[in-house]
Amino acid sequence: MNARVLIDGPSELVFDYAIPAELPVVEGCRVRVPIRQKTSSGTVLAILEPPKQSEFAMREIQSLIDPEPLITPTLLKVARWIANYYGSSIESVIRSILPEAVRTEDNSAKTRRIATATENIDPAELAKLEKRAAKQYAILFLLINAPDRTLPVADLGESSAPSLKSLAAKGFIKISTEDVRRDPEATETIVPSEPLVLNNQQQEAFNQISASLGTSPTPPTPPSPYLLLGVTGSGKTEVYLQSAQAALDLGKTVLVLVPEIALTPQTVRRFKARFSQLDDQVAVLHSNLSQGERFDEWHRIRKGQARIVIGARSAVFAPLPNLGLIIVDEEHETSYKQENPPRYHARDVAVLRAAFEPCTIVLGSATPSLESWQNTLTEKYHLIRLDQRADAHSMPLVRVIDMRLEKQKQKGQVAILSDRLRTALEQRLAKGEQSILFLNRRGFARSLQCHGCGYVCQCPHCAVALTYHRTDERLVCHVCGHQSIVPRKCPECSNPGIALQGYGTQKVEEVLQKILPEARFARIDADAMRRKNALKDILKKFKTKKIDILIGTQMIAKGLHFPNVTLVGILNADLGLHVPDFRAGERTFQLITQVAGRAGRGELEGEVIVQTFTPHSPSIQFARKHDFDGYAEQEMEMRRQFRFPPFAHCAVLTARSGHERRAEFTLQTLHLRLKENLPAGISLGEVLPSPLIKSHDQFRFQITLRSHQARPLTNHVQNILQKTTLPEDVTVVFDMDAYNFS
C-alpha cells in the first residue's frame, strides 16, 4: 500500500510513499519521510492502492512520529470538505487542525523528577541512617511525612542529588519522572457552583436538547441543529451548563465555542465552577496560550483527559473523542469567520462536524444571524425560544436620543454626552449603581485635520486617516499599526490651526473625568488591555463595585453579567451603520441589542440610552423595542430582492499588489476569463476598487460573485485560477461566504 503524505512547511508539497510492512500507517498519523537528500515530517492524508505499473521505484516512509493518528477520520473528512467548499489548500486546513505547537517537534511535554519513599522501611535501618547520614535522614523524613510519600526532586534542594542517589541505592526511595501540566488557568481561584432552578422556558429548552443526546454512545442519525434564541439575560448559559452535564452523564464529551478570546476566561470560570468535581477535566484552546500550554491542552484533549473543551474559533478542531454536544455561543458573531487561509466559518464547520460525528449542536444568540434564522424558517434547524429574562424582570427601557438636536443645543459643537445621558450618569453615581458606556472606536480622536487647507494626516501605507492616541502622544493607523509623531502645524501649509476631529474612548474618559471627578473609571479597549490579565483584573474590580463607570469598545458588548449595572449608554450608534456592506444594518442591530442587554440584569431596573444621528434607522428602532422578529422580517425582504445571503452565497475575489495598475489589470483579466462559460445561476460583478483601496502598501481591487449553490461557484473560480499564471507581485485571494468587504 502507498500513503499520500502532506509535507510540513510552507511549500504545500504532497507526495506518495510506499508503506513498509512493519509500520502500521493509517490516515491522519504523523510520519517521517525522505525528500531529496533530507528527511522531513508530514501528515498522511490517504491510504492508496499502489499503481500497477511505474517507471520509478517508490520511496518508503522511514518511521512513525507518533504511534497513534493525531487527526481522527472525522476531522480528516472535515478538512477535505473545507478545502473543497472554501477553495483552500489542504495544507492550510491541516495547519488549522494541527496547531504549530503540536505539529513541530520543538515542543514536548514538560516533565519533572519526583522522589517517593518506599513502604515498610525498617525502623532500625532508619535509626542507623539518622546517626551516620543526617542529610539523607532529613530527606527521607520529609518524604515519609509528605502526601503520598512523594515530593518533587527540585523541592529538596540543589545539593540533594548525592543523598538521593545513596537513598535510592539503599532501596529507601524510588526516583521517577512525571509530566507537569502547564495550566493557563493555574492562578485562578474557582468557587464551585450548583445548578440553578430552571424556569418553564429554560426547562423546555433543556428537555429538547437532552432528549436529542439519546442514550446510546453514538446515535445512528444526527439530530437537526438547535437554534436557541434567547433574549439577553434569559439564562442561556444555565441551559448550556445543564445540557453539558447531561452529555457527560452519558459518557460523552462537550465542545463550547465562544466568539472572542476575551470572553473565554469568563466562560471557563463558569464551567470550571459548575464542573469542579471533574478533577481538572476542563481544557482551554485559544491563540493567546503559550506554545507549551497549547501543547499540553491539545494532548490532554486527544487522550481523553479533558472532557469539556472551551475555546475560540480554532477550537472547532479540538480532537475530542466520543463528542456528544457542541455549543456555539453568540453564533451570530463575525469573529467566527477566519480571515486568513483557510477562510472557514467556525459556526458552519461546527454544524458540519456535528453531522459527521454525529452529535447534538446548539447555536445560541439573542440576535441570530439571518443565515441561521432562515434555516429555522426552512426547518433545517429546530428553533427554541427564551423570550423572558431568567429572573422574570422586564427588559431594560431603551431611549433614543437624536444627536442632531443636541448639536443645535451646543451651537454646532460635537456632543459626546447628551444632557439626558449626563443626568442619568449623575443619578446612578448618587445611588451607588454602576454604568457602562459603549463606543466602538478606540483612541482619543478619529483624525487630525487642518482647518486652513483641509489636510488630514494619513497613513503612508494604508488609505485611512491616522487616529490620535493621547496616552502615547502618537498618531496610529488602526489597520497596519504604523505610528508617527503628532505635528505641531500643518505639514502642507504650516498652519498652526491643525485640530482634532471626532472622538474615541480615550476622549470619553477625559470628558467624564472633568464632569464627574468623583467617579471611578476604567477603560476596556485594545490599547488598555495590552498587559496580560488586564481584562480579568478590570472586570474583577467592576464586579466588586470598585469601578463606577466602565468605558469600552465591543469587548464589553456581550457575555458580561453585572447585576448592579442599571445604565448603558451607546455614544455613537451610527459608527457601523453607514459602511459599504449589506450586513451593516444587521450588525448595528445586533450590537445595540447585545450592549443594551448588559443593563438591568439584577433586582434593579435597567435603562439604555442610544445616541444617534439617524434615529429612524430600522436597525435602531427595532433594537429599541427588542424586536428581532420585526427586524428580521424587513431585512430578509430586502436581501431576497437583491439576492444577498441568506438567499444566495456571496464570495469575493480580491487582487492586491504594490502596483495599483497591475492589481487592477490582473483582476480585469480574471474577470474576462470568469465571464467565459459562466455556469448558470452565478452572478458576476464588475472589477471595483476595494472600499479600503490601500492596506499595508498593497492596492486592492475586488469582484463580488453570488450564486444559489456554493460548490459550482467555488469550482468555477478555482478552475480559472489554476489555469492563470499570475504576475509575481500580485496576490489573488478567494473568500467564499465572505464577511469582510473592505
User: How many structural domains is the chain composed of?
Assistant: 5
Confidence bin at 413 (pLDDT 50/70/90): low
Are residues 589 and 702 located together in one domain of the fold? no
**pLDDT over threshold 80, residue 392:** no
* E-assigned strand segments in 379-419: 382-386, 397-402
Answer whether residue 642 is part of any domain. Answer: no
Residues 629-657 pLDDT 10s: 999 999 999 999 999 999 999 999 999 99
Residues 286 and 350 in one domain: yes
- Do residues 154 and 258 share a domain? no
15 and 159 part of one domain: no
> Is there a single domain that holds both residue 675 and residue 728?
yes
> How many angstroms separate the CA atoms of 540 and 424, rounded?
24
- Cβ(173)–Cβ(116) below 8 Å: yes
Q: Quick check: is 473 in a domain?
A: no
Using CA atoms, how far apart are residues 35 and 572, in angstroms rounded to an integer?
58
Q: What is the CATH number of the domain that holds 61?
A: 3.40.1440.60
Identify the residue with better confidence: 732 or 559: 732
37, 72, 103 - which closes a domain: 103
Residues 509 and 585 in one domain: yes
Stretch among 25-29, 92-96, 126-130, 459-463 having the lowest mean pLDDT? 126-130
From residue 184, give the alpha-carbon distance in Å to each of 263, 272, 275, 276: 15, 13, 17, 16
User: How high is the pLDDT of residue 540?
Assistant: 87
* 194 lies in some domain: no
Contacting residues for 140 by C-beta, under 8 A, at least 6 apart: 117, 121, 126, 129, 167, 172, 173
Per-residue pLDDT of 184-243, as tens digits, reads 766 667 788 899 999 999 999 999 999 998 765 555 567 899 999 999 888 999 999 999
Of 707, 740, 708, 734, the residue nearest 721 (C-alpha):
734
Confidence (pLDDT) at 269: 83
pLDDT mean over 465-486? 92
Percentage of the chain with pLDDT > 90?
55
Residue 294 phi, psi (nearest 5): -65, -40
Question: What is the structure's pLDDT at 395?
Answer: 87
Average pLDDT, the chain: 89
Q: Write out pLDDT tens, residues 419-444.
A: 999 999 999 999 999 999 999 998 98
**Residue 263 pLDDT exceeds 90:** no
Listed range (51-55, 464-468, 597-601, 677-681) with the worst mean pLDDT = 51-55
Q: Is residue 616, in this structure, part of any structural domain at all?
A: yes
Res. 110: pLDDT tops 80:
no
Tens of pLDDT, residues 315-345: 999 999 999 999 999 999 999 999 999 999 9
**pLDDT higher for 64 or 104?**
64
Using alpha carbons, select from 46, 91, 90 the residue that is nearest to residue 69. 46
pLDDT at 267 over 60: yes
Give the DSSP H or E segment for 206. Answer: helix 200-213
Q: Which of residues 78, 103, 128 is at a domain's end?
A: 103
Assess whether pLDDT exceeds 70 at residue 716.
yes
Predicted pLDDT of residue 105: 67
Whether the predicted pLDDT of 530 surpasses 60: yes
Q: pLDDT at position 120, please?
A: 79
Same domain, 582 and 698: no
* Shared-domain flag, residues 292 and 423: no
For residue 662, name the pLDDT band (cuts at 50, 70, 90). Answer: very high
* Residue 491: inside a domain: no
C-alpha cell belonging to residue 657: 499588489
Look at residue 141 and tell me if it is in a domain. Answer: yes
Query: Which backbone phi and psi does 662 adopt, to 5 degrees?
Result: -70, -40
Predicted confidence (pLDDT) per residue in 566-587, tens digit: 999 999 999 888 888 999 999 9
Give the confidence band of 554 by pLDDT, cuts at 50, 70, 90: confident
What is the predicted pLDDT for the residue at 412? 53
| Higher per-residue pLDDT: 410 or 687 | 687
CATH code, 259: 3.40.50.300
Same domain flag for 98 and 118: no
pLDDT over 70 (residue 107): no
pLDDT above 70 covers what percent of the chain? 95
Which DSSP helix (H) or strand (E) runs through 411? Answer: none
Q: Would 207 be classed as within a structural domain?
A: yes
685 pLDDT more than 70? yes
Q: Work out the pLDDT band at 497, boundaries 50, 70, 90.
A: confident
**According to the model, what pLDDT value does residue 693 have?**
95
Calculate mean pLDDT across residues 31-35. Answer: 92
Please report the pLDDT score of residue 469 as a whole number: 93
- Is residue 404 domain-shared with residue 507, that is, in the same domain? yes
pLDDT over threshold 90, residue 624: yes
Across residues 523-540, what is the average pLDDT? 82
**SS3 category, 706:** strand
pLDDT score of 262: 67
Is residue 511 scored above 60 in pLDDT?
yes
Question: Which pLDDT belongs to residue 56?
Answer: 75
pLDDT of residue 106: 66
Instruction: From 592, 627, 662, give the residue that closes a domain.
Output: 627
- Pairing of β 360-365 and β 226-230: parallel
Q: Which amino acid belongs to residue 11? A: S
What burial class does residue 412 get, using C-beta atoms within 10 Å of its C-beta: 0-12 exposed, 13-18 middle, 19+ buried?
Answer: exposed
Range of the domain at 527: 397-444+503-627
Q: Classify residue 498: in a domain, yes or no.
A: no
CB atoms within 10 A of CB 369: 24
* Residues 427, 524 within the same domain: yes
pLDDT band at 114 (very low <50, low <70, confident <90, very high): confident
Instruction: Show the CA angle centred on residue 705, arms to residues 702 and 710, nearest 5°.
Output: 130
85 and 164 co-located in one domain = no
